[in-house]
Chains A and B, each alone.
Chain A
């Protein structure tokens, strides 16, 4: 397309946006809201995935050992467990060390342990680091072993988290699809109004021999601009919301790792802007197909 034609189309597109200002505003807002929700879902998803890997690293099976287990038998046990598929490491935690860890974890509340240290009710423990998909099997196996009193497994939490993420993901996808459809419809309606306002010009263009693509071009640019404006607004909103969420999280769940904002948005921005433009083009396409039979 020659530059002057592009210039002409852009001018016509801007004229179209100005001509039905209210509908243009409505479509930009709809695009912004839709993409904002979409963005928030993406942000949530990215962070959940992040938390998920973090939790995954924590997957440990703890085997509490019988008090009378000899050191030699314990070595044997550890070697046996270490041979299992998916087991990364097996560490022995002496009951005194376990008590110390507990005291550390309790922090200022540690005074309730006073007097206990001489008796120490805690058992010797084996900490088994294991890949999540093998956690359940290994836990079962370890529980059945001689000299193991009890087994606690944290894999359960991971599995639940996976299930929750899946529900969130599909819910998010469904919601996003709905919002995308709504956005396309609103943009298409806006473009339809412009087409209607310009019907006389369009009729004359056809009469004097303007090509179909020439007649359509300004409408596509208009739709794209609406989509772009909406997506930029949504990115701004999401930026602010994420910052807010980060401060909230820092207060209430400081141990949860959150992805840094700059990096995250640098990754998301191109996709969101392109997505907004795409929705605009789709909306235009819809109304052009239906209302601009050229």
Chain B
């Protein structure tokens, strides 16, 4: 049986700026984002995230968390500086190469973004079908990821028949359907009660243990501090703190 998330066995580049002796999955060098209206999204951000890391991205509203996430799946490009994902300079990536990058990067949002006229199964299958997977692959893969997120028994339900937490699990299942090496989550627990939120973060940690590099932007500081993972804090578009496996306490 195919592993749920393939663990990338390619050797890390020795002496590469991963800093941890492992190949960097995400690298940012002096990255600034200025929006057309003049608003500053990020300002001179330097950051490396290595393969297999789990990173919490925190900071007050407007700090630039979403901007950071959107850079990684190339929804936007930096105004200046360089973003590398899986060793590729995103500014140099041609338009027709972007879809192939995105198959390596699963994204989860606060509002789930599910298709309400399709069942749970079809929502997950959709991600595979539109990237050219064969029906055989779909039949094999969809039950496996639904099993992983604990929703195998809800496969035939429609999204509006599910609780918020369950809907978010569907969206996580869709994000990992293509077996991505990076999983991004932008406030995945924003609409959920604390217990459900914990469940979602646990799920993302499971995915990380299976080999994916995971970045989670969140406001849920209690969850952050209880997990002792790397925490990057943004404020006004700058990285103001980068705590390795730290207890996170609000710097106020």
Contact = CB atoms under 8 A, between A and B. Distances in A.
Given A5-B132, A207-B73, A200 B99 contact: no
Interface stretch (B13-21, B25-33, B101-109, B202-210): B101-109
Query: Would you list the 7 A-B pairs with minimal beta carbon distance, nearest first?
Result: A209-B102, A209-B103, A210-B130, A208-B127, A209-B99, A211-B99, A205-B130
B22 to A, nearest CB: 25
Given A204-B115, A204-B127, A211-B99, 6 more contacts: A208-B102, A208-B131, A208-B174, A208-B178, A212-B95, A212-B96
Query: Which range contains the number of B residues in contact with the other chain?
Result: 20 to 34
Interface-centre pick from B99, B126, B131 (highest chain A CB count, 10 A): B99
| Dominant secondary structure of chain A at its interface with chain B | helix
B199 interface: no
Contacts, number: 51
A201 B116 CA distance: 10
Interface of B: 73, 95-96, 99-103, 106-107, 113, 115, 126-127, 129-132, 134-135, 174, 177-178
A211 B135 CA distance: 18
B173 to A, nearest CB: 12
A174 to B, nearest CB: 39
Interface of A: 2, 4-5, 8, 200-201, 203-212, 214-215
B126 A209 contact: no
A215 B131 CA distance: 10
Contacts of A2: 132
Nearest to B127: A208
Contacts of B115: 200-201, 204
Contacts of A204: 113, 115, 126-127
Contacts of B99: 206, 209-212
Contact of A207 (B96, B100, B107, B134): B107
